[in-house]
């Protein structure tokens, strides 16, 4: 089944009550179209969104730490206990060292959190696929937040990411993101071999979020 992952970043439109509202719209559209929907929210919003909706909630980041003296870091254990299904890690806006990506994935596996690890290009996608996350999301940083989608501007990156991951670790599912705005972008992402998209501004900043999500869900179907 295809998946739409919406990253709310630190947008006002996707924070606190607005995160819950958006998750509820995603839940409705996901049920209507039989599409998996997941929302990656601020750590502080994990609990409230998980409590109020049935879609999968991901924390926007976790740190590669165990229990202990780690003031101010984001504990995978706390995130799990708050109701998260998983975590997005290594986003271009919050990059991690490879050692920490590896450790975070190991801890996540141990406690039953799914991981979507971001990669800025095909080489990084390759490296991350070796670490065995559940998903790798390829997102060229220069296209993030823009109006031209990765599927239009750089389809070869998506295609190569998919074929590379297949060769290295076929268990890892591939998503793509950056500039995804329309059903057409989502359809192209699927055509290029991904299982879905990671999208932020195209949904979070949209006036009519339900309409955009419906269009994307139709395209995945």
- Given the rule CB under 6 A, which residues bind ligand G3P? 7, 91, 139, 144-145, 177-180, 198-202
Q: Which is nearer to ligand G3P, 31 or 202 (CB)?
A: 202
Q: Which is nearer to ligand G3P, 16 or 146 (CB)?
A: 146
Q: Which is nearer to ligand G3P, 38 or 131 (CB)?
A: 38
User: Which residue of the set 61, 91, 214, 215 is catalytic?
Assistant: 91
Q: Is 32 a catalytic residue?
A: no
Smallest distance from ligand G3P to CB 177, Å? 4
How much helix, strand and coil, in percent to the nearest 5, is found in the chain? Answer: 45, 15, 35
Q: What is the spatial distance between Cα 150 and Cα 156, in angstroms, rounded to a whole number?
A: 9
Q: What is the spatial distance between Cα 40 and Cα 19, in angstroms, rounded to a whole number?
A: 9
Q: Is 214 a catalytic residue?
A: no
Q: What is the spatial distance between Cα 167 and Cα 218, in angstroms, rounded to a whole number?
A: 30
Smallest distance from ligand G3P to CB 202, Å? 5
Longest dimension (CA), the chain: 47
Residue 107 carries which DSSP code? H
Q: Which residue is nearest to ligand G3P (CB)?
A: 201
* Catalytic residue list: 91, 139
């Amino acid at each position: 089944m295809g998946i739409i992952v919406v990253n709310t970043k630190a947008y006002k439109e996707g924070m606190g009550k607005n995160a819950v509202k958006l998750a509820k719209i995603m839940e409705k559209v996901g049920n209507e179209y039989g599409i998996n929907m997941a929302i990656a929210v601020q750590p502080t919003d994990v609990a409230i969104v998980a409590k109020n909706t049935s879609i999968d909630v991901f924390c926007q980041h976790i740190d590669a730490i165990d229990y202990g003296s780690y003031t101010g870091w984001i504990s995978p254990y706390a995130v799990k206990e708050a109701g998260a299904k998983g975590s997005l890690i290594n986003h271009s806006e919050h990059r991690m060292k490879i050692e920490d990506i590896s450790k975070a994935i190991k801890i996540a596996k141990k406690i039953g959190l799914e991981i979507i690890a971001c990669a800025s290009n095909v080489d990084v996608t390759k490296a991350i696929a070796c670490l065995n996350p559940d998903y790798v999301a390829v997102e060229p940083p220069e296209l993030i937040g823009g109006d031209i989608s990765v599927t239009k501007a750089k389809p070869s990156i998506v295609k190569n990411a998919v074929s590379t991951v297949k060769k290295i670790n076929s268990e890892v599912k591939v998503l793509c993101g950056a500039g995804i705005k329309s059903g057409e972008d989502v359809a192209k992402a699927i055509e290029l071999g991904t299982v879905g998209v990671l999208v932020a501004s195209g949904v979070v900043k949209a006036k009519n979020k339900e309409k955009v999500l419906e269009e994307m869900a139709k395209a995945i179907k």
